[in-house]
């Protein structure tokens, strides 16, 4: 991975810019233009519910930002920096790109809203000249002036202008709250707004009003320009969120007692009729709120883009260098500002961003949900490195995440699905170009550790209470031939693919020491990389032990990381080297002491022919092994390697029992819902002059895998001879069940 570039700040703002950027965006265009309509439609209690529900999402997000910001050193990039340092650079870049476009297009949205303050001018023009002047006549010059200010003066000028417009904004709100309706108007208004109306339209109105509350993270984007972001971000964000919520509560009450329902529904700037000097001060307040929001967005968007480029998020090195380049000692994002302004100009020229605004709100909600999810996972994961100075509660964060997702679907299900689809495509593209960086696996690492720990302890405590449980393999294999023989890995992968769990130990002869430990780590890394290349589901580890027998003893006593008890041991040998069977025979009894099912895998030098299927051979002596052999055949067949294969059962029995055996097998296949057709069940009569091995060599010469049972008594009398003599068969798996299995 290329070295990341740190954006060093020399300017050092305090908490005030964070607070004023956030509060001026919260108390924005929707407060002036649409909240009257919301109260007129849903009533006083509907308006309160909109505020409460909206802040049930924004407050947990504000807490989550504050928490994460006090746990890590926050640099330039605001929300992007927080997400990328918590979720990894690839996921951070994915959400950061969506966030940047939302911020850049928001500039255009606020500039277009600003032109509504010139509505009297547009009406005058239409009345005097007889044609309608397009809104772009105001919005494009305003966008140009705003751009010049930011490009020439940077964040310093932006913050100074921010203070000026915030004063106008609060003055207009003060005059609004001081305004009083006449006695006649008060009598006419009465209590007509104090109710909860049009409940079916509530979520439609909520969707219109919710963007008003999303400005609480606007100040976070100044993180790279703050002297102490760990202090300024929590203070500024939380106070702005709480302050904005109180102002909205007051506005709902003031509008409800100061205007009729008809005025609330029909007059877009109904606040103008309520405030002292409203004809002048309210349009000024609208202008101040929209231009301050535009200033906030145009300050934040370039810093997000600059941070993305500094982290090498884009596939082109030239693009990254161009966008990450800063101007002056404060590293002002001049180039990133040019790109942000260009995007904003495009949408200002279009003049109608209603369609785009809904999609933008989806990405904002994804950002909020992501921040809450980060906080929740950090709480749940309980990593020692997570020690924030500001502490929220895990249930606040979880509620914020769930409400964000739920609200997205309530606002627009189609746009929600589209937003997640775009996010997924962006992630796949970035992950393809930066496969060496942390991806999705980093999200749930600590949480999965905690969940696995809890489940293992729980399963151990409740294991004795389980009266009957369905069997599935938890197989162990120990081998020193890991780099010479691939087939044993294939077999273990087949067993552990879907229905079971497999642990493979690479055996290293010797005593535990610094040298053998170092060698073991190096060889383990190689094996893991080899298995990653084939998308293995096998868990791999190493075992250092002075002898094969002590290694087996350690292996069968090792706990399973799956949470279930290990129940099967798999030995392997090369059919061309039958002398390897001796040490297997010597150690089978050791494993039987632990109630393990035993499998012995004989590998040939032939290529596995999966299309030819799996042959399972059942003899009268296999009454203990039969069901396990069939189950293993089914489990192995579920692996994609065998998608064109099949299972064929050969049952050897006395001739007088053929019909009964066929019925029993047919019933077993039917009741067990096994993927075996009756045509693939063949009953062979016992022939005194023909050995079973001869029949297996004859019928299974072309099989991809042959499964044969063996019993403990055979080992005592015949020893290694029971595994020899299958010269025509390629790969063969010998199975010995500790006890009979049920197929249900």
Helix (H, G, I), strand (E, B) or coil at 565: coil
Give a yes or no: residue 52 inside a domain: yes
CB contact burial 227-244 (16+ within 10 A = b; e otherwise): eebbbbbbbbbbbbbebb
Same domain, 533 and 628: no
**Backbone conformation region of residue 598, classed left if phi is above 0, alpha if psi is from -120 to 50, else beta:** beta
In the predicted model, what is the mean pLDDT of the chain? 83
- Residue 9 is predicted with a pLDDT of 45
Q: Are 50 and 205 in contact (CB under 8 A)?
A: yes
Give the domain extent around 610.
604-744
Q: State yes or no: pLDDT of 554 exceeds 70.
A: yes
Task: Give how many domains the chain has, as a whole number.
Answer: 3
Of the ranges 130-134, 245-249, 258-262, 422-426, the best mean pLDDT one? 245-249
Question: Which of 539, 572, 600 corresponds to the end of one domain?
Answer: 600
Same domain, 108 and 256: yes
Give a yes or no: residue 9 inside a domain: no
- Residue 10 is predicted with a pLDDT of 45
Give a yes or no: residue 351 inside a domain: yes
Q: Provide the β-strand partners of residue 66.
A: none
Give a yes or no: residue 102 inside a domain: yes
Question: Which of 583, 600, 617 corresponds to the end of one domain?
Answer: 600
CATH number (domain holding residue 541) = 3.40.50.620
Distances (CA, A) of 574 to 640, 650, 709: 25, 25, 18
Same domain, 587 and 727: no
Same domain, 414 and 319: yes
CATH number (domain holding residue 207) = 1.20.1740.10
Q: State yes or no: pLDDT of 571 exceeds 90.
A: yes
Same domain, 431 and 379: yes
Question: Which of 576, 600, 624 corresponds to the end of one domain?
Answer: 600
Percent of the chain with pLDDT over 90: 29
Rg over alpha carbons for the chain, rounded to the nearest Å, is 36
State how far the Cα of 587 lies from the Cα of 333, in Å rounded to an integer.
69
CATH number (domain holding residue 726) = 3.40.50.12370
Same domain, 588 and 719: no
Q: Are 225 and 13 in contact (CB under 8 A)?
A: yes
Same domain, 299 and 151: yes
Is the model more confident about 632 or about 363?
632
Each residue's pLDDT tens digit, 155-186: 555 566 667 778 888 899 999 999 888 677 77
Same domain, 651 and 569: no
Give a yes or no: residue 168 inside a domain: yes
Give a yes or no: residue 482 inside a domain: yes
Same domain, 324 and 349: yes
Same domain, 418 and 479: no
Give a yes or no: residue 682 inside a domain: yes
Same domain, 594 and 691: no
Same domain, 557 and 628: no
Distances (CA, A) of 411 to 104, 357, 405: 22, 12, 10
Give a yes or no: residue 169 inside a domain: yes
Is the model more confident about 466 or about 500?
500
Each residue's pLDDT tens digit, 439-483: 666 666 767 777 777 777 676 666 655 555 678 899 999 999 999
């Amino acid at each position: 991975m290329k070295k990341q570039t740190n954006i060093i700040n020399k300017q050092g703002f305090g908490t005030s810019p964070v607070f004023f950027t956030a509060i001026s965006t919260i108390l924005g265009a929707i407060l002036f233009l649409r909240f009257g309509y919301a109260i007129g439609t849903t009533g006083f209690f509907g308006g309160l519910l909109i505020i409460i529900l909206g802040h049930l999402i924004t407050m947990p997000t504000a807490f989550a930002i504050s928490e994460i910001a006090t746990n890590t050193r926050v640099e330039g990039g605001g929300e992007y920096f927080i997400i990328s340092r918590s979720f990894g650079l690839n996921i951070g870049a994915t959400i950061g790109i969506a966030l940047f476009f939302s911020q850049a297009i928001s500039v255009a949205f606020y500039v277009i809203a600003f032109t509504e303050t010139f509505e009297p001018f547009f009406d005058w023009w239409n009345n005097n000249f007889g044609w309608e002047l397009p809104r772009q006549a105001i919005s494009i010059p305003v966008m140009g002036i705003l751009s010049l200010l930011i490009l020439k003066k940077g964040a310093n000028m932006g913050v100074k202008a921010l203070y000026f417009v915030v004063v106008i904004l609060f003055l207009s709100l003060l005059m609004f709250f001081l305004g009083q309706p006449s006695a006649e108007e008060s009598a006419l208004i009465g209590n007509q707004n104090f109710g909860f109306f049009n409940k079916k339209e509530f979520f439609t109105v909520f969707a219109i009003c919710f963007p008003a509350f999303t400005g609480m993270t606007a100040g976070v984007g100044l993180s790279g320009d703050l002297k102490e972001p760990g202090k300024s971000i929590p203070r500024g964000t939380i106070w702005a969120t709480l302050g904005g919520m109180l102002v909205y509560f007051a506005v709902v009450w003031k509008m409800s007692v100061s205007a009729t329902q008809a005025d609330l529904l029909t007059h877009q700037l109904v606040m103008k009729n309520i405030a002292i000097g409203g004809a002048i001060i309210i349009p000024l307040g609208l202008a101040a709120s929209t231009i301050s929001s535009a200033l906030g967005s145009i300050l934040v968007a370039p810093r997000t883009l600059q941070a993305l480029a500094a982290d090498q998020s884009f596939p082109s090195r030239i693009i990254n260098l161009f966008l990450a380049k800063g101007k002056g000692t404060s590293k002002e994002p001049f180039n990133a500002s040019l790109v942000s302004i260009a995007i904003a100009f495009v949408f200002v020229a279009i003049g109608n961003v209603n369609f785009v605004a809904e999609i933008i709100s989806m990405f904002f909600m994804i950002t909020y949900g992501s921040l809450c999810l980060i906080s929740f996972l950090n709480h749940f994961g309980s990593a020692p490195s997570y020690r924030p100075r500001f502490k929220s509660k895990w249930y606040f964060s979880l509620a914020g995440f769930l409400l964000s997702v739920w609200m997205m679907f309530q606002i627009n299900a189609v746009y929600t699905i589209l937003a997640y689809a775009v996010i997924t495509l962006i992630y796949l593209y970035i992950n393809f170009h930066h496969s060496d960086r942390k991806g999705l696996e980093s999200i749930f690492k600590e949480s999965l550790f905690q969940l696995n720990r809890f489940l293992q302890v729980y399963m151990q405590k409740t294991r004795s209470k389980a009266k009957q449980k369905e069997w599935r393999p938890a197989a162990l294999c120990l081998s020193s031939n890991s780099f010479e023989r691939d087939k044993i890995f294939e077999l273990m992968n087949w067993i552990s693919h879907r229905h079971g769990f497999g642990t493979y130990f690479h055996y290293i002869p010797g005593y535990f020491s610094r040298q053998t430990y170092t060698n073991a780590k190096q060889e383990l890394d190689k094996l893991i990389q080899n298995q990653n290349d084939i998308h293995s589901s096998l868990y791999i580890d190493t075992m250092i032990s002075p002898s094969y027998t002590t290694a087996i003893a350690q292996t069968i006593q090792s706990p399973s990381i799956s949470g279930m008890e290990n129940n099967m041991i798999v030995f392997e040998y090369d059919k061309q080297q039958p002398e390897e069977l001796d040490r297997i025979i010597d150690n089978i009894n050791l494993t039987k002491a632990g109630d393990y099912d035993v499998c012995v895998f004989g590998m040939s030098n032939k290529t596995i022919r999966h299309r030819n299927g799996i042959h399972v051979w059942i003899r009268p002596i296999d009454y203990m092994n039969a069901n396990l052999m069939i189950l293993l055949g089914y489990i192995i067949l579920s692996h994609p390697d065998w998608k064109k294969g099949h299972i064929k059962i050969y049952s050897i029995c006395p001739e007088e029992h053929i019909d009964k055996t066929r019925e029993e097998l047919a019933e077993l296949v039917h009741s067990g819902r096994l993927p075996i057709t009756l045509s693939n069940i063949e009953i062979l009569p016992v022939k005194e002059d023909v050995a079973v091995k001869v029949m297996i060599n004859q019928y299974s010469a072309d099989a991809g895998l042959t499964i044969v049972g063996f019993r403990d008594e055979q080992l005592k009398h015949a020893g290694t001879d029971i595994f020899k003599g299958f010269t025509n068969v390629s790969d063969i798996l010998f199975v010995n069940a500790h006890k009979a299995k049920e197929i249900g």
